[in-house]
Amino acid sequence: MKPRHLRFGMNLWPPFLGAGIRVRHIAEDWSEVIVDLRHGLMNRNYVGTHYGGSLFSMTDPFYALMLMHLLGDRYLIWDQAASIEFVAPGRGTVSAVFRLTKEEVEAIRAQAASGEKALPEFDVEVRDADNALVARVHKTLYVRLKPRFRPA
């Protein structure tokens, strides 16, 4: 799938569309994704700031999706764990930038080459229009060669 097709589809996906989440950019080489969350009536909490579930949702699938495309279909890739630290109230549009370097991808590939699982960890920050930190998300992924590709 091409990045622009995934971006288009994700922007129409009901959980993102309803929450005000918009995938603004997916790099042609899958190395970067930029996601925005607009502040509106449907994603505000009781005190009028961004609902924490929407902040978390905007960061959920992207490292796994990026790795699926960068590593290829020989690998199983799942989210294993995630946590979020709410740093400041979110108002207005907030953004998150996900980046993976070639070196990070090759390190993960090398860790999984034996057929054992790799558990790479990633951090992403959610920032507002003034670049103030709103939340930090820590993700742990599960990466392993599919059984038919594991060494004997």
> Is the whole model's pTM more than 0.85, yes or no?
yes
Band of residue 40 on the pLDDT scale cut at 50, 70, 90: confident
113 contacts: CB under 8 Å, gap ≥ 6: 145, 151
Structure tokens at 69: 């495309």
The count of domains in the chain is: 1
Tell me the three state secondary structure of residue 2. coil
Could you tell me the CATH number of the domain that includes residue 120?
3.10.129.10
Residue 87 has what pLDDT?
97
Residues 87 and 72: their CA atoms lie apart, in Å, by 35
- The sign of the torsion formed by the CA atoms of 8, 11, 12, 14 equals positive
Band of residue 1 on the pLDDT scale cut at 50, 70, 90: confident
Band of residue 42 on the pLDDT scale cut at 50, 70, 90: confident
Quick: pLDDT tens for 78-130.
Answer: 999 999 999 999 999 999 999 999 999 999 999 999 999 999 999 999 999 99
Neighbours of 100 (CB within 10 A): 21
Residue 144 has what pLDDT?
98
Residue 44 has what pLDDT?
87
Is residue 35 exposed (0-12), middle (13-18) or buried (19+ Cβ within 10 Å)?
Answer: buried
Q: Which domain holds residue 38?
A: 3-149
Residues 40 and 93: their CA atoms lie apart, in Å, by 9
Cα–Cα–Cα angle for 39, 44, 47, rounded to 5 degrees? 120
Residue 146 has what pLDDT?
97
